[in-house]
């Protein structure tokens, strides 16, 4: 199968997944207790006003009529207005918050991916030395500590004991995140410590397993140097499982950092999802969930593509 056929097939799968997800999310929002009209007008609204608003919003129509109407508007770029943010358009609001989350995502990847992979490889090479045990125990320790505990400790350490960083990652009004890059430091450290446990332990285990394989022993018997064996033969095979873990965590980092963003007050997509759920802003909730699902699907697709770059034996076209 040619490359373009594989890409088209995966794009079709992404589109189908988004369609199914949109329907499931819409139905779930329908069965949540509460009245959207009541939320918008308040508890003291009259029945006449509530009925008029339900008619204007099409809430009196069957669910499938409203679903396909909402889907049609979404496909045309009309995402509606947010109820939680006083009628602000959803599209620019979500784009702004998504950019903030992407910047945090990039900062985390720049820190924890190289660090974790390097330490994991070192731990796999030095299997019988204290370095390997230290990296393994450190990874387990970081996995065992909940992110909010790590975050509280970092806030106390760097804003109270050593006051060099802001305790809150909230961005002052009238400024952008590019003018306040220091607000990224504590959330990035917190996420990096958590992800170190996943990535480093996976890289360590993979490298250890590869170094015990028969073709590595053959390379040693040929008299090849350890550096040549590691970088020429072992690294490419050891990195594949690590790529899987990294790819699977892209979507989680984008939409799953709710605790981190809430703790530090960082204005990302996770915090926006919490606000929209608390205020029952149904249109905003649906858009955010679809965006998170889309990022997960694209991340998995790119992870599959990267396999063939590191291992020519893997043919993703078949």
State how far the Cα of 229 lies from the Cα of 7, in Å rounded to an integer: 34
Query: Whose CA is closest to 90, among 100, 78, 101, 102?
Result: 78
- For residue 77, give the 3-state DSSP assignment: coil
State how far the Cα of 226 lies from the Cα of 160, in Å rounded to an integer: 47
pLDDT computed for residue 308 by the predictor: 66
pLDDT at 6 > cutoff 80: no
pLDDT at 1 > cutoff 60: no
State how far the Cα of 53 lies from the Cα of 40, in Å rounded to an integer: 9
Same domain for 144 and 68, yes or no, is no
Which of 24-28, 86-90, 244-248 has the highest average model confidence (pLDDT)? 24-28
Question: What CATH number should be reported for the domain holding residue 207?
Answer: 1.10.3720.10
Stretch 114-137: mean pLDDT: 80
In Å, what is the CA distance from 42 to each residue of 23, 277, 282?
28, 17, 16
State how far the Cα of 177 lies from the Cα of 180, in Å rounded to an integer: 5
Burial label, 311 (beta-carbon count in 10 A; 0-12, 13-18, 19+): middle
Owning domain of residue 25: 3-75
Same domain for 136 and 62, yes or no, is no
b/e per residue, 89-111, with b = 16+ CB within 10 A? Answer: ebeebbeebbebbebbbebbbeb
Same domain for 122 and 24, yes or no, is no
Tokens of 180: 């306040």
With respect to residue 81, please indicate whether it lies within any of the assigned structural domains: no
Same domain for 302 and 202, yes or no, is yes
State how far the Cα of 230 lies from the Cα of 238, in Å rounded to an integer: 10
The number of residues making up the chain comes to: 318
Same domain for 163 and 290, yes or no, is yes
Stretch 12-30: mean pLDDT: 87
pLDDT computed for residue 144 by the predictor: 82
In Å, what is the CA distance from 43 to each residue of 50, 51, 54, 56, 283?
10, 14, 15, 19, 20
pLDDT computed for residue 262 by the predictor: 85
Same domain for 125 and 248, yes or no, is yes
- For residue 81, give the 3-state DSSP assignment: strand
pLDDT at 30 > cutoff 70: yes
pLDDT computed for residue 40 by the predictor: 63
Tokens of 222: 């040929």
301 backbone dihedrals φ, ψ, rounded to 5°: -65, -45
Output the average pLDDT for the chain: 80
Q: Are 230 and 125 in contact (CB under 8 A)?
A: yes
DSSP 89: B
Same domain for 210 and 140, yes or no, is yes
The residue among 26, 45, 75 that closes a domain is 75
In Å, what is the CA distance from 35 to each residue of 50, 51, 60, 69, 280?
9, 11, 12, 19, 9
Same domain for 106 and 69, yes or no, is no
Band (16; pLDDT cuts 50, 70, 90):
very high
With respect to residue 315, please indicate whether it lies within any of the assigned structural domains: no
Same domain for 255 and 160, yes or no, is yes
Same domain for 14 and 131, yes or no, is no
- Which sign, positive or negative, has the C-alpha torsion 189, 194, 195, 200? positive
Tokens of 187: 């959330």
High-pLDDT (> 90) share of the chain, % = 1
Stretch 123-136: mean pLDDT: 77
Stretch 7-11: mean pLDDT: 84
Query: Whose CA is closest to 177, among 163, 164, 188?
Result: 188
pLDDT at 34 > cutoff 70: no
Same domain for 46 and 104, yes or no, is no
Band (310; pLDDT cuts 50, 70, 90):
low
- For residue 145, give the 3-state DSSP assignment: coil
pLDDT at 283 > cutoff 70: yes
pLDDT computed for residue 179 by the predictor: 77
Stretch 269-278: mean pLDDT: 85
| Bridge partners for 81 per DSSP | 89
pLDDT at 316 > cutoff 70: no
Band (41; pLDDT cuts 50, 70, 90):
low
Same domain for 171 and 54, yes or no, is no
How many distinct structural domains can be found in the chain?
2
pLDDT computed for residue 8 by the predictor: 85
State how far the Cα of 151 lies from the Cα of 170, in Å rounded to an integer: 15
State how far the Cα of 234 lies from the Cα of 162, in Å rounded to an integer: 42
Query: Whose CA is closest to 121, among 229, 194, 214, 33?
Result: 229
Q: Are 82 and 273 in contact (CB under 8 A)?
A: no
With respect to residue 230, please indicate whether it lies within any of the assigned structural domains: yes
With respect to residue 91, please indicate whether it lies within any of the assigned structural domains: no
């Amino acid at each position: 199968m040619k490359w373009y056929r594989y890409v088209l097939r995966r794009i079709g799968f992404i589109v189908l997944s988004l369609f199914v997800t949109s329907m499931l999310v819409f139905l779930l929002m329908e069965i949540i207790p509460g009245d959207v009209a009541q939320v918008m007008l308040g508890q003291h609204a009259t029945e006449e006003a509530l009925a008029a608003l339900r008619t204007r919003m099409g809430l009196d129509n069957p669910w499938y009529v409203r679903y396909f109407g909402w889907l049609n508007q979404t496909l045309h770029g009309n995402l509606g207005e947010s109820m939680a943010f006083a009628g602000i358009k959803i599209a620019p609001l979500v784009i702004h918050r998504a950019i903030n989350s992407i910047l945090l995502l990039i900062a985390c990847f720049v820190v924890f991916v190289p660090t974790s992979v390097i330490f994991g490889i070192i731990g796999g090479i030095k299997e019988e030395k204290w370095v390997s045990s230290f990296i393994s125990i450190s990874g387990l320790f970081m996995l065992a500590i909940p992110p909010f505990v790590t975050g509280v400790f970092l806030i106390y350490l760097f804003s109270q004991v050593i006051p060099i960083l802001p305790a809150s990652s909230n961005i002052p009004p009238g400024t952008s995140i590019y003018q306040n890059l220091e607000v990224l430091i504590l959330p990035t450290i917190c996420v990096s410590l958590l992800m170190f446990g996943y990535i480093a332990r996976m890289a360590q285990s993979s490298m250890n397993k590869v170094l015990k394989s028969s073709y590595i022993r053959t390379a040693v018997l040929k008299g090849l140097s350890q550096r040549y064996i590691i970088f020429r033969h072992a690294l490419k095979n050891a990195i594949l499982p690590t790529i899987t873990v990294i790819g699977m965590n892209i979507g989680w980092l984008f939409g799953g950092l709710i605790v981190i963003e809430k703790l530090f007050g960082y204005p990302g997509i996770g915090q926006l999802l919490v606000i929209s759920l608390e205020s029952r802003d149904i249109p905003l909730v649906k858009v955010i969930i679809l965006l998170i699902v889309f990022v997960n699907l694209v991340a998995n697709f790119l992870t599959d593509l990267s396999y063939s770059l590191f291992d020519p034996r893997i043919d993703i076209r078949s």
